[in-house]
Structure 1
Amino acid sequence: MNILDKIIENKKEEVRKAKSEISLQELMDSEYFGKQGKSLKKSLKEKSGIITEFKRQSPSKGIINDKSGVFEVVTNYEKFGASAVSILTDKQFFGGSLEDISKVRRSTNIPILRKDFMVDEYQFYEAKSIGADVILLIAANLSVSQVQEFTALSHQMGLEVLLEIHDEEELEHINKDVDFVGINNRNLKDFKVDLDHSINLKNQLPKEILKIAESGIYNVEDFKYLKEKGFDGFLMGEYFMKTENPGKTFEEFISNVTV
């Protein structure tokens, strides 16, 4: 069993537990459920194109940053021009929580991506109830029909959909309704990074779809290289979070890529 399999097995158990504690109706009664979300499509075009990330740890890197608080980090990301922020909500493997989104939603005006392993309809109601604007679907752990069903459900709730793929076999998961296709430069099964593999995969995507480069962007040169190759957005987390002051690091990065 690889790490992705372990995460999904644990996630299904988490969802079963959550369902027993909070009903769908309770989620639908939240203050955010009926509100219009913030558009990542619009924000990518108007701002830096960078989707920053708040991530405390990962299975491949262990603890990345367990000192910085979510409110301070996200506030600075927004201040210095982030198009959006991705917030990890998986607790067991990434040290996140739903509360991390709740803590910043009221004061944050950029879109929030709930980054998690979505395996059940219940999680989409959760995402909307805490004020998320975008959800992540990972092709590696979903069937083609699940991607279609979850995309339709997301759109019914006003959530945008980022579909993440890793290889050519997962191209079949793309449908006309997904809002973005993210190509993870890091293989989830062995965690190796290959930017050129991602570029080759990007060139096989429908021209009209927005393309996001995810993970494994370690420096300004990587960013500029991927931008030159036609990516519309860039999801970056570890590069900023591994430093003592992620917001300051992001400010410096922005100054270097916009000259």
Structure 2
Amino acid sequence: MILDELVAATRKNLQERQAQVPLAVLQAQLATLPPRPHFTLNAQASDQPIKVIAEIKQASPSKGQIVDPATFDYQQIARDYTAAHVDMISVLTEEDYFKGSLAILSAVAQTTQLPILRKDFTIDPYMLYEAKVAGASAILLIVAILTDAQLKDFLALAHELDLAALVEAHDADEIQRAITAGATMIGVNNRNLKDFSVDFNNTQRLRASIPTDIAVISESGIQTRTDVAQLEAAGINAILVGETFMRATDKPAMIAKLRGQYPRG
């Protein structure tokens, strides 16, 4: 199972980082951090334009290398996203399969004042401290790889560290677990992380399972304005888009297109 491999790789790399930088060192750095913007979603604001979380990644297990490493200018991508007025930037930090790093996140944090989501397979409290020190405003918690106790503990720690938490679920059982844990933002992944198949209708199908006071973000498989319009009609609060933006030569134009903002001509 691909997800098991991702978690195993994450655990190995995490152990190496912990050996290099003890938790106490990260905790000591918290007091010296510059302020970072908060990220909040109003679950009741369905009448407002859908929020956009734009992702920075150069590879993925399902697509392989998406961007040539020689031309992967993540700081310029961050500037493009900032110019397009996205609501948050998601940065992949998983090293082996997504070719990401905390160094990329730190560089992006120094490039923009937009909130930044650390996109990774969070399996240890240490990773929340890493995210905060690197400049993240939010972290991802994937229900499928965490116990109920871990979900609750990580949500509490995120609150303590002033980090927003996007809790990711793929099916009705995971949605219920996220709700029970106290999630205020639930990301519905249209991609099944067990086999990486994509069902774009997954978000709309599960929307009714999520209380109206919890913000809903649709993740994966979003490619066209028609896709976004369907999600808007379903009362989805935000979209998280990666590959579609990464492959676009004019990223601000693609973002405007998904928002339905077409140039006058």
- Structure 2: runs of 5 or more not aligned: none
How far the C-alpha of 1:42 sits from its partner, in A, is 5.6
Residue 67 of structure 2 corresponds to 65
CA contact (8 A) 1:36 1:158 kept: no
Query: Which amino acid in 1 is paired with 2:5?
Result: K
In 1, distance between residues paired with 2:263 and 2:185?
24
Alignment partner, residue 133 of structure 2:
129
Identity %: 33
Question: Residues 54 and 90 of structure 2 are in contact (CA less than 8 Å); yes or no, is this contact kept in structure 1?
Answer: yes
Query: Aligned letter for 2:61?
Result: P
Match of 1:24 in 2: 23
* Preserved contact between residue 68 and residue 245 of structure 1 (Cα < 8 Å): no
Query: For 2:169, which of 161, 165, 172 is the aligned residue?
Result: 165
Question: Is contact 1:165–1:182 with CA below 8 Å preserved after alignment?
Answer: yes
Mapped partners of 1:33, 1:234: distance in 2: 33
Q: Secondary structure at the match of 1:203?
A: helix
| 1:6 match | 5
Please identify, of 175-184 and 214-223, the stretch whose mean Cα deviation from structure 2 is larger.
Answer: 175-184
Supply the distance in 2 between the matched residues of 1:186 and 1:22 (Cα, whole angstroms): 33
3-state SS of paired residue (2:261): helix
Q: TM-score, normalised by structure 2?
A: 0.89
User: Equivalents in 2 of 1:47, 1:84: separation in Å?
Assistant: 14
Map of 1:138 onto structure 2:
142
Could you tell me which residue of structure 2 aligns to residue 96 of structure 1? 100
Q: Which residue of 1 aligns with 2:194?
A: 189
The separation in 1 between residues aligned to 2:32 and 2:170, in whole angstroms, is 32
SS of residue paired to 1:41: coil
Distance 1:219 1:47, change over 3 A: closer
2:245 is the alignment partner of 1:240: yes
Q: Is the 8 A contact 1:163 1:181 kept in 2?
A: yes
> Compared with structure 1, are the counterparts of its residues 33 and 122 closer, same or farther at alpha carbon in structure 2 (3 Å cutoff)?
farther
> 1:228 aligned to 2:233?
yes
Amino acid at match of 2:67: N
Contact 1:48 1:82 survives alignment (8 Å): no
String of CA shifts for 1:196-231, please: whole Å, max 9, x gaps: 232121110111000000111011110111111010
Deviation of the 1:35 alpha carbon: 4.7
Query: Is the partner of 1:92 in helix, strand or coil?
Result: coil
Return the alpha-carbon distance in structure 1 between the equivalents of residues 92 and 4 of structure 2: 18
2:239 match: secondary structure = strand
Q: 1:245: how far off?
A: 4.2
The 5-angstrom pairing of residues 46-125 of structure 1 reads 49-66=51-68, 67-125=71-129
Q: How many aligned residue pairs are there? A: 258
Q: Do the aligned residues in 2 keep the contact of 1:43 with 1:110 (CA within 8 Å)?
A: no
Q: Report the AA paired with residue 55 of structure 2.
A: E
Q: Scaled by the length of structure 1, what TM-score is found?
A: 0.91
Question: Which whole-Å CA distance do the structure 2 matches of 1:154 and 1:247 have between them?
Answer: 31
How far apart, in 1, do the equivalents of 2:75 and 2:146 lie?
32
